[in-house]
Amino acid sequence: MADEDRTRADPGAGDAPPKHRSGAGTFGQTRAVLRRVARARRRRRWAVEGAAVLACLVVLVAYLGSRSDPEPGDGQGVAPAM
């Protein structure tokens, strides 16, 4: 069998790209571009976390404002007659 026939028969041989991606999406980009992308991701993460905190505060305020029963000791209850 000739060498070229063996390489055709073996699917892993030849000019196939590697199966692992060590730097997927970063090949050929400069450090400045990678830093800019990282900063954009960081800003996006801060924005999402800030929106989540704001939503939690709104829910907490709505919960505290919707309580209709007065707590004991607020002075709004009628004093017992003696």
Express each pLDDT in 15-44 by its tens digit.
666 665 555 566 778 999 999 999 999 999
pTM of the model: 0.47
Express each pLDDT in 69-80 by its tens digit.
666 665 555 566
Sorted by sequence, the CB contacts under 8 Å of residue 77 that are 6+ apart come out as 70
d(CA 75, CA 82): 17
Q: Say if CB 70 and CB 76 are below 8 A apart.
A: yes
